[in-house]
Chain A
Amino acid sequence: MSQNETTAAPERRSLRAKPFAKADRIFYRVSTIAANSSIVLVSLILIFLGIRAWPAFESQGIGFVFGSTWNTSVEPIVMQIGPMLWGSILLSILGVMLAVPMAISIAYFIVFMAGKKLGSSVSVLVDLLAALPSIVLGLWGLLVFSPVAADWAKMLHDALGFIPIFANSGDNFLRSPFIASWVVAVMIVPIIASITREIFSQLDRELISASLALGAGRWSTFRRVILPTAAGGIVGGVLLGLGRALGETVAIYFVLNLIFDINIFNILEPKGGSVASMIMSKFGEASTAEVSGLMAAGVVLFLVTLFVNMLASYIVAKAQPWRK
């Protein structure tokens, strides 16, 4: 960077659009290599999982996804993950149903009701909840929450047991999808809440002021202005939460009975399923063929979450046209 003070103007030089310095080329090369290695990493995971899972798909056929038996002591072994897959989906849907009102409420509270100071401290709390490791939530779910929730489940059963959803053939209300979905809900509330909060705070304030100036109350403003404008973002956040719930492992393993018997909607029965937890519970004493089955279960789970996540990012991107 030596500059000659006496020359008035620098020498003419040709304009170039491409990086000309060697250091620049290295700079771009390094970042490109890094980006490409993430591509390679994802494809490597997919390809390798696919190769390892293929024997299971081949031997089990379509029944792998829809059947409901897992028996590795017979020959040929039967591996079917139907109940687990349905259990994962059921848990995620229930968890999302519990989480959405809470998440939207807390986002609305932070952005529109609380003042600046209270709002920012509440959002710190929400972020803290997001940072809690799932195994800590699992421990809390197992030892603190389960007994309480089992009481709730029993009351629900006593009051509404005639409706099939709340039926329970036994007297055990612990380790049911009901409880597990509450734990899942606690886990995904902060995800949905932080995205919803983000979208709410980016809404055009003039829209809201206009609505209030026209005489609309808080409710009509919420219903007619805020919700329609923010809907896409909220749906995206919900789907992201759904993806997280589908992949949740340890917390669910602590609070749910994994049983290979399809339980369509008896949410108070102590039997349910979760693909991720099943993988974790079975891998320890698995033979080579069974590991292949677990891999295949992992592939199915990954494809489901991948689909949900892609949908989510597409919707979130569509819902925030003001970004980029």
Chain B
Amino acid sequence: MEKVITAPVARPATAEPWKRVAPASRLMLIVASVAPAAFGALAMVLGLRFELALLFVFLPVQLVLGVIAGRRISGKRGQSDAILQIFIIFFAATVFVLLVSVVWSVIESGAKAISWQFFTQNNVYISPTTSLEYGGVGHAIIGTLLVVLLSTVVTVPLGIATAIYLTETRGRSRSVVRTLIQAMSGLPSVVSGLFIYALFIASGITQYVGWAGSLALIPLMLPTVTRVAEESLFLVPQELRNGALALGAPAWRAFWIVTMPAAKSGLITAVLLGIARIIGETAPLVITTFAANSTNYNVFNGPIATLPTYLYQFTAYGYDTSIQRAWGAALVILILVAVLFVSARVITRKKKTSKKVK
């Protein structure tokens, strides 16, 4: 009994597929988004723990109401869409809460420890229980800056030159280099530190010293710098290079006056991200530079304190005051990372606007 269709089925004149099925949909949406929270709050007032109320009252109520509202508003597919959206927002909110918790606890607890002298003084004559009016992380800030600076000075030219090799030349070993850089990014930081420790310190060539820490950071920084720089050079249109070459520029001039300026912001981002990658590294520095109490301006002589090792050391002591100092150091690291991060953002944003002009 099959119906024979002779002419194409005409769309009903009244069909308006873009319209919502139920006219009262706005009201339903409001109910579906307010009621679960109300139920959750009620459960908490009745004495349920926050997490349990969230998981066993709020979420189920939200799901049921979402399914009902979705079904009424856009028919059958509204159901599964509602479930998908509820879970997506739930998980995304979890990430958000965790992030805010981390940042807020560092800012809140760190602000208590921070004062002017915390930035300027060093750790000489300070025991874990000394009150916070004395001593600070000045020596560790200087140490971090020096150690990171030394690694940066070595790594950035190396990394960017490697990126140039990968994008600008047709060298035969490009895929090998790319694979090895990829492999290096998986090197656990503690193994890198152990490598330098065994090479220079355990073998008696030197004592704990700042430059050993810088060396241990190089394999960690190099992959980041290379990959971001490669990415930004790769994004420069090939026509630009070809144009420069066709005008008679030798390859190095084409790179210097055309490709590099075009990728400049990306290259700077590469450097900043590389620094952000190593500025909080702890394990390799604990193994290679050790900790020092006094300010040491010389990376090539004697142990040097850095912020991560300071934080590690004072957390390990476990006294109230030492932990407050650790929070203070964490806040200082966070500020350094935020500064780097924001400058990277600002630089990449400039790049985007200049691209729109094109």
The residues of A with any CB-CB pair to B shorter than 8 Å are 19-21, 23-24, 26-28, 30-39, 41-42, 45, 48-49, 52, 101-106, 108-109, 113, 122, 124-129, 131-140, 142-145, 152, 155, 186, 189, 193, 215-220, 222, 243, 246-250, 254, 276, 279-280, 283, 288, 291, 294-295, 298-299, 301-302, 305-306, 308-310, 313
Can you report 30 A-B residue pairs in the complex whose CB atoms are below 8 A from each other?
A24-B250, A24-B251, A26-B252, A28-B169, A28-B171, A32-B169, A34-B164, A45-B192, A48-B195, A48-B199, A49-B191, A126-B95, A132-B102, A132-B280, A133-B279, A135-B312, A138-B315, A139-B327, A140-B101, A144-B102, A155-B49, A247-B186, A247-B188, A249-B282, A250-B282, A250-B283, A288-B202, A295-B194, A302-B191, A306-B183
Main secondary structure of the interface of A (DSSP, over half): helix
Contact B186 A106 (CB under 8 A): no
Q: Which residues of A contact B187 (CB under 8 A)?
A: 45, 247, 302, 305
The answer, among B94, B161, B176, B323, for a CB contact under 8 Å with A31, is: B161
The answer to the question of B185 belonging to the interface, with a C-beta cut-off of 8 Å to chain A, is: yes
Contact A218 B161 (CB under 8 A): no
Most A CB contacts (10 A, CB to CB) among B85, B161, B184 go to B161
Q: Which residues of B contact A276 (CB under 8 A)?
A: 188-191, 283
Q: For the complex, what is the distance from the CA of A142 to the CA of B315, rounded to whole Å? A: 9
How many residue pairs at the A-B interface have CB separations less than 8 Å?
Answer: 265
| Min CB gap B97→A, angstroms | 11
Q: Which residues of A contact B102 (CB under 8 A)?
A: 129, 132, 136-137, 140, 144, 186
Contact A243 B312 (CB under 8 A): no
Main secondary structure of the interface of B (DSSP, over half): helix
Contact B308 A280 (CB under 8 A): no
The answer to the question of B286 belonging to the interface, with a C-beta cut-off of 8 Å to chain A, is: yes
Contact B91 A127 (CB under 8 A): no
The 10 closest A-B pairs by CB, nearest first: A133-B280, A247-B188, A217-B77, A34-B161, A105-B91, A309-B186, A27-B252, A219-B80, A35-B165, A31-B165
Contact A45 B219 (CB under 8 A): yes
Contact A309 B182 (CB under 8 A): yes
Q: For the complex, what is the distance from the CA of A298 to the CA of B264, rounded to whole Å? A: 37
| Min CB gap B6→A, angstroms | 25
Contact B188 A283 (CB under 8 A): no
The answer to the question of B317 belonging to the interface, with a C-beta cut-off of 8 Å to chain A, is: no
B33-41, B57-65, B123-131, B329-337: which lies at the A interface? B329-337
Residue in chain B with minimal CB distance to A20 = B250
Residue in chain A with minimal CB distance to B171 = A32
| Min CB gap B184→A, angstroms | 5
Q: Which residues of A contact B334 (CB under 8 A)?
A: 132, 136
Q: For the complex, what is the distance from the CA of A247 to the CA of B162, rounded to whole Å? A: 25
The answer, among A26, A133, A295, A299, for a CB contact under 8 Å with B281, is: A133
Q: Which residues of A contact B181 (CB under 8 A)?
A: 38
Contact B98 A28 (CB under 8 A): no
Residue in chain A with minimal CB distance to B308 = A135
Q: Which residues of B contact A219 (CB under 8 A)?
A: 77, 80-81, 83-84
Contact A249 B195 (CB under 8 A): no
